Chain A
Amino acid sequence: DQQVKQNSPSLSVQEGRISILNCDYTNSMFDYFLWYKKYPAEGPTFLISISSIKDKNEDGRFTVFLNKSAKHLSLHIVPSQPGDSAVYFCAAASNSGYALNFGKGTSLLVTP
């Protein structure tokens, strides 16, 4: 069963605007949430993470927000750049377990 869900398969945003990618999860035992970025023919690369004890983590243009009560997190990219065009995967893990549970990914296209 899919414990991490990314319900938007694709998103198109204009350069300079904000990109918002959403992720929902079902397992309340998850302690960490991560976003990975993937270009074609490459492996996923780590982007940003957040612990369940926080509700926000920021790194440059990237901010992740966590709403534990809603079991929802989002990744904000401001401002969006054409080089941000990639597939973004949301992933979650618990301290007691080791596997990363991935969503299906959202393909982001940033147009000039």
Chain B
Amino acid sequence: EAGVAQSPRYKIIEKRQSVAFWCNPISGHATLYWYQQILGQGPKLLIQFQNNGVVDDSQLPKDRFSAERLKGVDSTLKIQPAKLEDSAVYLCASSVTSGGAGEQFFGPGTRLTVL
């Protein structure tokens, strides 16, 4: 079974530029998550999709971050404009169902450096 795919793996941009990350979840997984992991911290949920609907985006900085999940499969996360504090690893995860007991499978992440 293929895992969660993410691209690019690394990205370096200057502040005020825009950037987009792509995620392809495990086939059949209805729930997709985007997490931000700042160095030395645990992952923090940015947004959660159930199929193509948003379940939770309470911690997404909506003035600069946006995400979509077209057709309930792939997802993109965009930052525009980027700030220095956005430097982090962006992790995508998916699960069969939502809820606390549903094991989440993580992709390798995209490491973003904002200069």
Are B91's CB and A43's CB within 8 A? Answer: yes
For B103, list chain A residues within 8 Å (CB).
34, 46, 49
Distance in angstroms between the alpha carbons of A86 and B53 in the assembled complex: 35
Q: Does B4 contact A (CB under 8 A)?
A: yes
Interchain CB contact under 8 A, A100 and B104: yes
Contact B106 A43 (CB under 8 A): yes
Is B108 a contact partner of A32 (Cβ separation < 8 A)?
Answer: no
Contact A94:B105 (CB < 8 A) given known A102-B44, A104-B40: no
What is the interface size of chain A, counting residues whose CB is below 8 A from a CB of the partner?
29
Name the residue on B nearest A105 (C-beta).
B42
A95 and B108 contacting across the interface, CB-CB below 8 Å: no
Q: Which residue of B lies closest to A103 (CB)?
A: B42
Interface residues of B in 82-108 (CB under 8 A from A): 91, 93, 98-101, 103-108
- Shortest Cβ distance from residue A64 to the other chain B in the assembled complex, whole angstroms: 14
Chain A residues near B75 (CB, 8 Å)?
Answer: none
Interface of B is mostly: loop
Given contacts A43-B4, A43-B106, contact A98 B91 (CB under 8 A): no
Contact with A along B3-22 (1 / 0, CB 8 A): 01000000000000000000
Q: List residues 51-106 of chain A with CB under 8 A from any CB of chain B.
A: 51, 89, 91-95, 97-100, 102-105
Known: A43-B93, A45-B106, A49-B103. A98 touches B98 (CB 8 A): yes
List the 4 closest pairs (A to B, CB-CB), nearest first. Answer: A102-B42, A43-B106, A93-B100, A32-B100
Which B positions have Cβ atoms within 8 angstroms of A? 4, 31, 33, 40-45, 48, 55-56, 91, 93, 98-101, 103-109
**20 chain-A/chain-B pairs, Cβ below 8 angstroms:** A6-B42, A31-B100, A43-B91, A44-B106, A46-B104, A49-B101, A89-B43, A91-B42, A93-B99, A95-B99, A95-B100, A98-B31, A98-B48, A98-B55, A99-B45, A99-B48, A100-B100, A100-B104, A102-B43, A105-B42
